[in-house]
């Protein structure tokens, strides 16, 4: 009876030792092993055997972490107050440094991302914040990656999600955009007028050098007017056509003899 009880106790003790000694790490996990408090090695994936009460292991995931950066109150360089939130993508590339050099790398990375976001965006104008997000994302990502490298963390991407602006500022931006569109419309209209006047000047030079071309242009104008079924057509005659005709009529009038005073008119 005592032997069977002792065997049962040994079996339970063996199960306890095996449970405390064996660890299984998945493909995306690494284990930082400490022996009597001192770093020994990074193990995994697979089966890891530990010495109970002598060795301890801290699990670390190497998968990509998606962290939401809460909205931050930011004052831009042109003194506009906005609220900006972003998304941070990072992963652990060195499990030893992530466990030893920082107490909680998730909380540390989150706080660092918030302060870096405020610092970087505060150096830019509102227009840059709205139109150059790709460049600002890259700036924030480079700064975070350089600062978290000592923790064994690689920041792969930073994306600005939303930029909340005060309603009065939204109205001001809308007025500015409308004024910009009106300015562009006037510039385009002025450029069109300039090009049209240049082409008209060239056409006038061609017509001045070729009177026949001018006559053909008049005939073409008559054709266009007649196609509209107008009842009355007012067609201007050029002065170079009217003046010779008037000169001819004046010459004929001067050559005809005047009637004598005593002659009686024919009835």
Q: What tens digit of pLDDT does each residue of 140-187 get?
A: 999 999 999 999 999 999 999 998 888 877 777 778 788 888 898 999
Fold annotation for 65-165: Tetrahydropterin Synthase; Chain A (3.30.479)
Please report the pLDDT score of residue 240 as a whole number.
63
Token representation of residue 233 = 């057509």
Residue spans of the domains in the chain: they are: 16-61, 65-165
Please report the pLDDT score of residue 264 as a whole number.
45
Residue 32 predicted with pLDDT over 80: yes
Please report the pLDDT score of residue 22 as a whole number.
87
Please report the pLDDT score of residue 242 as a whole number.
65
Q: Judging by DSSP bridges, how do beta strands 55-61 and 153-165 pair with one another?
A: unpaired
Q: Which residue is listed with tokens 């089966």?
A: 47
Mean pLDDT over the full length of the chain: 83
For residue 143, what are the CA distances in angstroms to 11, 86, 121, 128, 241?
Answer: 56, 15, 12, 18, 82
Distance CA 124, CA 84 (A): 13
Residue 261 predicted with pLDDT over 50: no
| Selection from 216, 191, 192 nearest residue 203 by Cα | 216
Please report the pLDDT score of residue 92 as a whole number.
96
Please report the pLDDT score of residue 244 as a whole number.
67
DSSP state of 259: P
Task: For residue range 191-245, list pLDDT tens digits in order.
Answer: 998 888 888 888 777 767 776 666 677 667 767 766 666 556 666 666 666 666 6
Rounded to the nearest 10°, the torsion over CA 174, 175, 177, 183 is 160
Please report the pLDDT score of residue 267 as a whole number.
38
Please report the pLDDT score of residue 263 as a whole number.
47
For residue 89, what are the CA distances in angstroms to 26, 96, 141, 216?
Answer: 21, 20, 9, 74
Highest mean predicted confidence (pLDDT) among 73-82, 103-112, 173-182, 194-203: 103-112
Work out the number of other CB atoms within 10 angstroms of the CB of residue 84.
Answer: 21
3-state SS, one letter per residue, for 159-189: EEEEEEECHHHHHHHHHHHHHHHHHHHHHHH
Using the CB atoms, write b or e for 237-248: b if 16+ within 10 Å. Answer: eeeeeeeeeeee
Please report the pLDDT score of residue 241 as a whole number.
60
Token representation of residue 96 = 């030893």
Residue 128 predicted with pLDDT over 80: yes
């Amino acid at each position: 009876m005592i032997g069977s009880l002792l065997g049962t106790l040994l079996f339970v003790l063996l199960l306890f030792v095996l449970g405390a000694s064996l660890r299984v790490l998945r493909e995306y996990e690494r284990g930082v092993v400490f022996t009597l408090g001192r770093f020994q090695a990074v193990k995994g994936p697979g089966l890891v055997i530990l010495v109970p009460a002598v060795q301890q292991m801290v699990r670390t995931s190497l998968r990509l972490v998606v962290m939401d950066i809460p909205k931050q109150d930011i004052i831009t360089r042109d003194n506009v107050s906005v609220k900006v939130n972003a998304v941070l993508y990072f992963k652990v590339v060195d499990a030893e440094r992530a466990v030893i050099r920082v107490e909680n790398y998730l909380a540390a990375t989150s706080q660092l991302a918030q302060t870096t976001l405020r610092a970087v965006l505060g150096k830019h104008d509102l227009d840059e914040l709205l139109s150059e997000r790709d460049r600002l994302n890259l700036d924030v990502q480079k700064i975070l990656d350089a600062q978290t490298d000592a923790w064994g963390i690689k920041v792969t991407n930073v994306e600005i999600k939303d930029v909340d602006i005060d309603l009065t500022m939204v109205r001001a931006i809308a007025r500015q955009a409308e004024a910009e569109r009106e300015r562009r419309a006037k510039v385009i209209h002025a450029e069109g007028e300039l090009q049209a006047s240049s082409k008209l000047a060239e056409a006038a030079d061609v017509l001045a050098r070729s009177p026949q071309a001018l006559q053909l242009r008049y005939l073409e104008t008559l054709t266009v007017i007649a196609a509209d079924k107008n009842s009355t057509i007012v067609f201007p005659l050029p002065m170079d056509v009217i003046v010779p005709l008037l000169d001819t009529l004046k010459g004929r009038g001067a050559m005809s003899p005047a009637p004598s005073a005593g002659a009686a008119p024919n009835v």
